[in-house]
Structure 1
């Protein structure tokens, strides 16, 4: 298993940040590996069971994953993703900061399947690089959130 974890602080209100990050469709704006993420369950409210079809690029290779919102509690959202090669979990926790703002914790874990398991030790660096990119791309997007309005594309 490989993974990445990052913690970031932004000035936007926790409730607004959490609502935005709970919609996996927005990941195509802030996650540098996601090319597209579209609802695959017919749309509707963002609730446990909501699903997205995501196209991601890792190591120059494009792959599709089916993301499902597995847990949605106050300040915490968990997505699971599957395809024939990987099983992934993304946990996002948003906490308010006294005086305004938010602390965002992002933790992704990926379990490689089949022969890909052998590559796990070599992918750790790639995941750390992804975490570093995420720290550069996510905070500016969240800083632009105002109330319930979505962030504009970068």
Structure 2
């Protein structure tokens, strides 16, 4: 199991950040590994909403089906699954203690299964790099949001 976590501040208020990030289709804009992320259902984004995500990580394409498992005023939990991995992404958004804006904590827990487990030590290094790139991209994209 690999866990990667980042905490950082952005200018928009928490409600605007949650409204944007709960739609995982927006991952195409802020997740450097995501090549496409397509909604599988329709209607308002809510617990149970699903997306088909195609990512390229360390040159390898992978597809996961993500489900919005939890949505509150300050927390989003998305769980992606396929035959070899489960990725649980928890995004917590609270008012920034340093002034206006939001403090975001993004934690990704990646559990490899079966033969893929042997790659765990290597994946920790890869996902730490992706975590830093995601923080940079997410900060840039979120700071463009208008309230």
Per the normalisation by structure 2, the TM-score is 0.96
1:111-126 alignment runs, 5 A limit: 111-126=111-126
Range that drifts further, 95-104 or 11-20: 95-104
Q: In structure 2, what is the equivalent of residue 82 of structure 1?
A: 81
Shift of 1:5: 0.4
The 3-state SS of whatever aligns with 1:95 is: strand
Q: In structure 1, what is the equivalent of residue 43 of structure 2?
A: 44
Q: In structure 1, what is the equivalent of residue 60 of structure 2?
A: 61
Q: In structure 1, what is the equivalent of residue 133 of structure 2?
A: 133
Q: What count of residue pairs does the alignment treat as equivalent?
A: 146
Shift of 1:97: 2.1
Distance (Å, rounded) in 2 between the aligned partners of 1:21 and 1:111: 22
Contact 2:84 2:116 in 1 (8 A): yes
Q: In structure 1, what is the equivalent of residue 90 of structure 2?
A: 91
CA offset digits 1:69-112 (Å, max 9, x no partner): 00111210100010111111000000012542000110000110
Distance (Å, rounded) in 1 between the aligned partners of 2:122 and 2:46: 36
Q: CA RMSD in A?
A: 0.9
Shift of 1:132: 1.2
Shift of 1:3: 2.1
Is the counterpart of residue 31 in structure 1 residue 22 in structure 2? no
Q: In structure 2, what is the equivalent of residue 152 of structure 1?
A: none
Range that drifts further, 93-102 or 19-28: 93-102
The 3-state SS of whatever aligns with 2:100 is: coil
CA offset digits 1:38-68 (Å, max 9, x no partner): 1112x11011000000011111011111000
Distance (Å, rounded) in 2 between the aligned partners of 1:87 and 1:57: 16
Distance (Å, rounded) in 2 between the aligned partners of 1:95 and 1:45: 23
Shift of 1:22: 0.7
Contact 2:79 2:89 in 1 (8 A): yes
Distance (Å, rounded) in 1 between the aligned partners of 2:60 and 2:127: 15
The 3-state SS of whatever aligns with 1:7 is: strand
Structure 2, unpaired ranges of 5+? none
Q: In structure 2, what is the equivalent of residue 150 of structure 1?
A: none
